Amino acid sequence: MFKSINLYLLIPLFLWFAHQILALNQINIEWLDCYLDDFVILPILLGISLIIQQNFITNYSFTFHVKTIVFCIFYFSLAFEVIIPIFNQHYTSDWKDCVAYAIGGIYFYFLQNKPKSIK
């Protein structure tokens, strides 16, 4: 299982964890506070989903189709930048967050979305 976790999943996990430590220590970097979580969410969620699919559900050669990744980008953008801000005043809509979701999806597609190598 742990051999399935590659560097390209660990990088977003590390960035997210490091950002949480900075936030807990009240160290605020504006662009990190605004966009880092949006960038890393898809590589983390899709990366973990890929590991589960390859190891427990389907087979080692499973990868996500580009349409699935695009759907996730649109889903997160719609949910967190359109729908939730309508119903919750603590959330704000920002088109740059949608760009961060897209960059995270592209990161996942090109760096993480690979068949599992069998050694």
Token reading at 111? 């760096």
| CA 12 distance to own-chain centroid | 8
Encode the chain (119 residues) as per-residue pLDDT tens digits. Answer: 455 568 899 999 999 999 999 999 999 999 988 999 999 999 999 999 999 999 888 788 999 999 999 999 999 999 999 999 999 999 889 999 999 999 999 999 999 999 987 76
pLDDT of 58: 75
pLDDT of 86: 95
pLDDT of 117: 76
Asked if residue 57 lies in contact with residue 119, where contact means CB atoms within 8 angstroms, the answer is: no
Residue 25 gets which letter from DSSP?
T
As a whole number of angstroms, the distance between CA 117 and CA 109 comes to 17
| CA 58 distance to own-chain centroid | 22
Asked if residue 84 lies in contact with residue 44, where contact means CB atoms within 8 angstroms, the answer is: no
